[in-house]
Amino acid sequence: MSDQQSEGMPRQSKRSRGGSAPTIYDIAKLAGVNPSTVSRALSQPGRINVKTEERIQAAAKELNYRVNPIARALPTGRTNTLGLIVADITNPVIFGIVRGAERAAADAGYTLVVAESQESGEREATAIERVMPSVDGLVLATSRLADAQIKQIAARKPVVVINRALEGVTGILPDVERGVGQLVAHLAELGHRSIAFVSGPETSWVSRRRWEALLAAAPERGMTIVEIGPGVPTLDGGTAAISRVIASGVTAVVAFNDLMAIGLLRVALERGIAVPSQLSIAGFDDIFGSDFTSPALTTVRTPLTEAGERAVRHLLSRVSPQPDGRRVNVESLLPTELVVRGSTGHPLADAGA
Amino acid sequence: MSDQQSEGMPRQSKRSRGGSAPTIYDIAKLAGVNPSTVSRALSQPGRINVKTEERIQAAAKELNYRVNPIARALPTGRTNTLGLIVADITNPVIFGIVRGAERAAADAGYTLVVAESQESGEREATAIERVMPSVDGLVLATSRLADAQIKQIAARKPVVVINRALEGVTGILPDVERGVGQLVAHLAELGHRSIAFVSGPETSWVSRRRWEALLAAAPERGMTIVEIGPGVPTLDGGTAAISRVIASGVTAVVAFNDLMAIGLLRVALERGIAVPSQLSIAGFDDIFGSDFTSPALTTVRTPLTEAGERAVRHLLSRVSPQPDGRRVNVESLLPTELVVRGSTGHPLADAGA
DNA sequence: CGAAACATGTCAACCGGTTGCCAAATGATG
DNA sequence: CATCATTTGGCAACCGGTTGACATGTTTCG
């Protein structure tokens, strides 16, 4: 019974299907060695006799062999894949992150799977559960999860968060103070004495940080500053804030992000308010399109592509430690910088009155 | 050194690691059945006695079991993953495609891996080779590969291409005529008698299609039309074309895409040309930011999110045929439509002279 | 009441690699 | 030339599911 396999015609030999991709068994047969030798030759160069290795390489090339990443992942647990979870793929702030992450991953021979949570914590948790088993690590950009949830995930797989400070979890964070300092100095030089900050969502860590930085920098230059908000971080969120901005009597307004700033800019122009002479407007992030406006938007740029890149490189350094000791410096903050365009300028002499 | 693992405690029993994820073997033990029964209970509801199935479900829930997609993929070949290859993730035309594709994939419980070719055919081929073994199908958006290469790939795995017509390969294509017809009608109604089309790259299938549609529609309305180009499909590409546009004496210009249109708009305003009274400008795609300009851009919208969605849904229908016969209608073209904003208007009476 | 039809669950092979252990071959050393 | 160290490559178990073949138990029906 047990030898029913061996009797009769030479029923298709154990390993060798027709159309399918070649396996190490095919190579082994062709090179006349054991499959395990092939595996070693391919993944641990040097472990095998040079002569044999060459023979195996030649056979592999002849068969046009590609290692099956799934078969490799099963025993090793390493998938050569990273996950990137974003709240909203079409949010321009995210694009850069995705690009940077994808590049860094591709450079290292890693594949990137992208999942979108659509701003929902629940969907985010689902998406994470789905990709978790098949990734070596996760980048959480703009996560909507609670700190505790993130920590729990970080305990299972390496995790890097972007734009969020979290005890025990690596975070890629911007040097908000730098860009804000430049912005405030810029406005002060132009002659502004009062600023309004139109803030974003109450729960936004980034919005809070930006506000704190402004709150610290403005008085140093002898400027007054007020916060208006919270508001939704969209064009409409900016539009909705205009009345309060005007009522506050400031000559310059800084919005939580470029989208809100553009909303402010549009509604201001509609109402016949001259920008920048009557009202200077600035935003954050330097998103795609922020220079499409007339006047173009002055903004504090956050290097988002670099954020994505760093996040992935740090993840990789934990997933597959580099022998040469190169380590990604995640301690240093991402440098932000002011981009001066047309939406900020000297206030009219009488405007400050 | 090598046996530090095995000394001491009674080396872990065959199936049951501590920290690791639970397996069907753990469930089997808990429910007192054979692992294969667990597998069937989980993947073929009904094949198993209801009573037993319940017991297994309970055990699975208790252990918080999640199927290991990699282990499942190895024997079945199905990975529940789709690949999306794009030329440039940060190209705003792509965003919508990515979002639509991701949503459709997530809805079906599929994971999406995204790879960027950075406009290089070689990188694209590499990226495809890398993801090929671990996906069930591929969406090629804005491929830079030759027709023959794509056909070769399509012979190995299900492939859907976006914005490209290719014998034997499913393509998601826009109904260019519809939007162009609306645009031409709109311009004619405004009183324009002459149009210039600033074209994109010579190799762009889409640019050619748009030009052909314009060429067919304009004369029907008694308008003259000229082509200016080819040019690079960027802001600068638009900017560079302004002199030739002015020289042509037209009152309306249609750019290959919104980016070029915005470039034209900006340089026109810089030169003191009034938009739309002296020159009406329109673009294609309705990209993010096309309404940030002053005046906002009139454009022919292509439903990119739907393109991504359709591409994935069609792929899914081939990968895992729906029992209910629902099929994705890929034959019908994606409806494009005119979005009228401020950059088009009545030409000045004397401008046509 | 016996046989055929059907339902249910087990066995064991398999997907395609990886890797610990070991035997044989080779080389170095005294 | 004997002895020991080092290479080299094979054996076989393993990763975690899936699935065809089959044995057993249960129903149905002539």
Reported as a single tens digit per residue, the pLDDT across A114-125 is 999 887 889 999
On the question of pLDDT at B78 being above 70, the answer is yes
On the question of pLDDT at A13 being above 50, the answer is no
On the question of pLDDT at A129 being above 80, the answer is yes
- Which pair of structure tokens corresponds to residue B196? 């210039």
Q: How many Å apart are B69 CA and D26 C1'? A: 36
- Give residue for tokens 């600033």: B198
Asked whether residue B75, judged by its CB, lies under 7 Å from any atom of the DNA or RNA strand C, the reply is yes
For residue B308, give the DSSP letter. Answer: H
Ramachandran category for residue A320: left, alpha or beta (phi over 0 → left; psi -120 to 50 → alpha):
beta
Q: Residue B112 to residues A6, A83, A115, A211, B207: CA-CA distances in angstroms?
A: 44, 10, 7, 37, 29
Asked whether residue B36, judged by its CB, lies under 7 Å from any atom of the DNA or RNA strand D, the reply is yes
Q: Are A174 and A163 in contact (CB under 8 A)?
A: yes
Burial class (CB in 10 A: 0-12, 13-18, 19+), B165: exposed
On the question of pLDDT at B8 being above 60, the answer is no
**Which positions 69-128 of A are in contact with B (Cβ < 8 Å)?**
69-71, 73-74, 79, 81, 89-90, 92, 95-96, 98-99, 102-103, 106, 109, 111-116, 127
Q: Which of A154-158, A223-227, B202-206 has the lowest mean pLDDT?
A: B202-206
- Give residue for tokens 């690791």: B20
Q: Which of A214-223, B119-128, B191-200 has the lowest mean pLDDT?
A: B119-128
Residues of B in contact with A133 (CB under 8 A): 21, 66, 68-70
Q: How far apart, in whole angstroms, are the C-alpha atoms of residue A181 and residue B199? A: 44
Residue A254: φ, ψ to 5°: -115, 125
Asked whether residue A274, judged by its CB, lies under 7 Å from any atom of the DNA or RNA strand C, the reply is no
Confidence label for B7 from pLDDT (cuts 50, 70 and 90): very low
Quickly name the fold that domain B1-67 has: 434 Repressor (Amino-terminal Domain) (1.10.260)
Q: What is the pLDDT of residue A239?
A: 97
Q: Which residues pair with A175 in a beta bridge?
A: A335
Instruction: Name, in order, each residue with C-beta under 8 angstroms of B69's C-beta and a sequence gap of 6 or more.
Output: A133, A134, B79, B80
Q: How many residues does chain A have?
A: 353
Which residue's CA shows the smallest distance to C1' of D18? B75
Q: Where are the beta strands (DSSP E) in A29-130?
A: 81-86, 111-116
Q: How far apart, in whole angstroms, are the C-alpha atoms of residue A239 and residue A220? A: 29
Q: Residue B48 to residues A251, A300, B56, B72, B189: CA-CA distances in angstroms?
A: 73, 61, 10, 20, 69
- Give residue for tokens 């901005």: A245
Q: Has domain A175-303 been given CATH number 3.40.190.10? A: no
Count of alpha carbons within 13 Å of B278, Cβ hemisphere only? Answer: 10
Helices B258-270, B235-248: inter-axial angle, 10-degree rounding: 60
Kindly calculate the radius of gyration of chain A based on its CA atoms and give it in whole angstroms: 28
Q: Which residues pair with B298 in a beta bridge?
A: B282
Do the domains B175-303 and B1-67 match in fold?
no
Q: Are B205 and B176 in contact (CB under 8 A)?
A: no
Q: What is the pLDDT of residues A340-353, one digit of tens each?
A: 999 999 998 654 43
Q: How many Å apart are B270 CA and D27 C1'? A: 89
Number of H helices, E strands in chain B: 12, 13
Q: What is the pLDDT of residue B89?
A: 84
- For chain A, what percentages of helix, strand and coil (3-state, to nearest 5) are there? 45, 15, 40
Number of H helices, E strands in chain A: 12, 13
Element (H, E) at A217: helix A205-220
Q: Are B134 and B111 in contact (CB under 8 A)?
A: no
Confidence label for A144 from pLDDT (cuts 50, 70 and 90): confident
Residue A174: φ, ψ to 5°: -85, 150
- CATH code given to domain B79-173+305-333: 3.40.50.2300
CB contact under 8 A, A288 and B68: no
- Give residue for tokens 């990789």: A316
Of A92, A98, A113, the CB nearest to B111: A113
Of B102, B127, B289, the CB nearest to A114: B102
Kindly calculate the radius of gyration of chain B based on its CA atoms and give it in whole angstroms: 28
For residue A14, give the DSSP letter. Answer: S
- Residue type, position B127, single letter: A
Task: Please name the nucleotide lying closest to B37, CA to C1'.
Answer: C9
- Residue type, position B221, single letter: R
On the question of pLDDT at B11 being above 50, the answer is no
Q: How far apart, in whole angstroms, are the C-alpha atoms of residue A50 and residue B62? A: 52
Q: How far apart, in whole angstroms, are the C-alpha atoms of residue B3 and residue B130? A: 37
Q: Which of B255, B319, B248 is nearest to B290 (CA)?
A: B255
Q: How many Å apart are A76 CA and D3 C1'? A: 39
CB contact under 8 A, B114 and A102: yes
CATH number, domain A24-67, options 3.40.50.720, 2.40.170.20, 1.10.260.40, 3.40.50.150: 1.10.260.40
**Which positions 151-210 of B are in contact with A (Cβ < 8 Å)?**
none
CB contact under 8 A, A133 and B106: no
Strands B337-339 and B334-335: unpaired
> Quick one: closest CA in B to A294, which residue?
B294
Q: What is the pLDDT of residues A294-326, one digit of tens each?
A: 999 999 999 999 999 999 999 999 887 655 545
Q: How many Å apart are A228 CA and D15 C1'? A: 57
Residues of A in contact with B74 (CB under 8 A): 70-71, 74
Count of alpha carbons within 13 Å of B32, Cβ hemisphere only? Answer: 4
Strands B337-339 and A81-86: unpaired
Q: What is the pLDDT of residue A48?
A: 87
Confidence label for A229 from pLDDT (cuts 50, 70 and 90): confident
pLDDT, average across residues A208-218: 97
DSSP-H helix ranges across A233-303: 235-248, 258-270
- Give residue for tokens 């391919």: A42
**Which positions 48-67 of A are in contact with B (Cβ < 8 Å)?**
66
Q: How far apart, in whole angstroms, are the C-alpha atoms of residue B188 and residue A155? A: 64
Q: How far apart, in whole angstroms, are the C-alpha atoms of residue A322 and residue B244? A: 55
CB contact under 8 A, B69 and A289: no
Residue B113 Cα, gap to closest chain A Cα (Å): 4
Q: What is the pLDDT of residue B171?
A: 94
The angle subtended at Cα A197 by Cα A195 and Cα A202, nearest 5°, is: 160
Residue A55 Cα, gap to closest chain B Cα (Å): 24
CB contact under 8 A, A113 and B113: yes
Q: How many Å apart are B160 CA and C3 C1'? A: 55
CATH number, domain A79-172+305-329, options 1.10.3720.10, 3.40.50.2300, 3.40.50.10190, 1.10.10.60: 3.40.50.2300
Distance of CA B173 to the CA centre of its chain: 11
Q: Which of A28-37, A182-191, B12-21, B198-207 has the lowest mean pLDDT?
A: B12-21
Q: How many Å apart are B227 CA and C23 C1'? A: 78
Q: Residue B87 to residues A35, A267, B234: CA-CA distances in angstroms?
A: 38, 36, 14
pLDDT, average across residues A66-73: 94
Q: What is the pLDDT of residue A90?
A: 81
Asked whether residue B51, judged by its CB, lies under 7 Å from any atom of the DNA or RNA strand C, the reply is yes
Asked whether residue B2, judged by its CB, lies under 7 Å from any atom of the DNA or RNA strand C, the reply is yes
Per domain, the residue ranges of chain A are 24-67, 79-172+305-329, 175-303
Q: How far apart, in whole angstroms, are the C-alpha atoms of residue A249 and residue B269? A: 31
Q: How far apart, in whole angstroms, are the C-alpha atoms of residue B95 and residue B243? A: 32
Q: What is the pLDDT of residue A203?
A: 81
Q: What is the pLDDT of residue B245?
A: 97
Q: How far apart, in whole angstroms, are the C-alpha atoms of residue A262 and residue A254? A: 11
B68 touches chain A (CB under 8 A): yes
